Amino acid sequence: MNSQSSSLPDSRPRSPEIAPAVISPARRLYWSVRRELYEHRVLYIAPLAAAALFLLGFLISLPTLPRHMRAALALGPTEQRHMIEQPYIVAEGLIMVTGFVLVLYYCLDALYSERRDRSILFWKSLPVSDLTTVLSKATIPVLLILFSFVITVALQLIMLVISTPVLLGSGLGARPLWTELSLFERSQGLLSHLLTVHTLWYAPIYGWLLMVSAWARRAPFVWAVLPLVAIGFAEKIAFNTSNFAAWLVYRISGPAPDAGGMAMDPMTAHVNIWTTPGLWIGLAVAAVFLWAAVRLRRYRGPI
């Protein structure tokens, strides 16, 4: 009896096997980007602080606005428009410079800091590839630039709205301010400038900094700058030329203003940056730098 009962098949119900959830590469990239934004809150706090500081200064100077408007109305059409737009141009420049400095800092620290604090050991244990991690970090400059654009437009709109009752109360009227400012056209020009120059044109700079961040064991800023300075000095000593330095200036300053370049006023950029060979060469170089950053992260361990 015992031998027969022991040979009976197991009739206990078996729980169905649960297949592991499949996470798409796009979703992995999305959560990696969210992680970067959560860990680097200064990226959106600093532009907001700069905008708040400028708005405070604008509010303090608001009582002098009617006097400046009377002085502007006494000028010719070109000088009048320039004088009216001046505070808004300064606001654009402040937010753009703040965002650009933050992007440079982030790219130089993004892959270096995780090796310095040894958190790379934890992130490598997750099912997220090195390619996804590097691409998520390369996406942050684009998001920060778009965020800077939103802040700039909101700041200019607030300035325009609070200026209107002041001018109406002084008897001047707000029509010259609204007609000469052309806020909608300025926003279009600014967005085009940020997406072309600050995103695409500067892509090789961001890629270079990410690659150095993945490679350097200490002082990434020194390693990012020192090779460029050394190449410039070597060229000057060997050939008595400054072509490399001129190329660096060209890449940093951007194409000529008539090709969508670095004019502080985006309304003066009349553009075709897409036909500039430097744009496409720079994008190819940026892709090489990002590929090198992926390879370096794969084999680099904690510092």
Q: Which domain holds residue 115?
A: 39-299
**Torsion, CA 41, CA 46, CA 48, CA 50, rounded to 10:** 180
Give the C-alpha separation, 271 to 193, whole Å: 9
pLDDT at 268 over 80: no
For residue 26, pLDDT beyond 50: yes
Residue 272 has pLDDT above 90, yes or no: no
pLDDT tens digit sequence for 196-212: 888 899 999 999 999 99
Contact present, 148 and 99 (Cβ < 8 Å): yes
Largest alpha-carbon pair distance within the chain? 115
Tokens describing residue 236: 């000057």
- Residue 7 covered by a domain: no
5 in a structural domain: no
Alpha-carbon gap, residue 150 to 147, rounded angstroms: 5
- Kindly state whether residue 27 falls inside one of the protein's structural domains: no
Q: What is the pLDDT of residues 81-92, one digit of tens each?
A: 777 778 888 888
Structural domains of the chain, count: 1
Q: What are the structure tokens assigned to 198, written together?
A: 């600050």
pLDDT digits (tens, 9 = 90+) for 219-229: 899 999 999 99
Residue 24 inside a domain? The answer is no
Q: Would 133 be classed as within a structural domain?
A: yes
Mean pLDDT of 180-202: 83
> Is the confidence at residue 271, as pLDDT, over 60?
no
> Position of tokens 């015992």?
2
Four-point Cα dihedral 245, 246, 251, 253, nearest 10: 110
Q: Is the pLDDT of residue 10 over 70?
A: no
Within a domain: residue 219? yes
- Residue whose tokens read 């440079």: 104
Instruction: List all residues 6 or more positions away from 130 whose beta carbon is below 8 Å from its beta carbon.
Output: 294, 295, 297, 298
Asked if residue 20 is part of any domain, the answer here is: no
User: Within a domain: residue 222?
Assistant: yes
Q: pLDDT digit string (tens) for 122-151?
A: 888 888 888 989 999 999 999 999 999 999
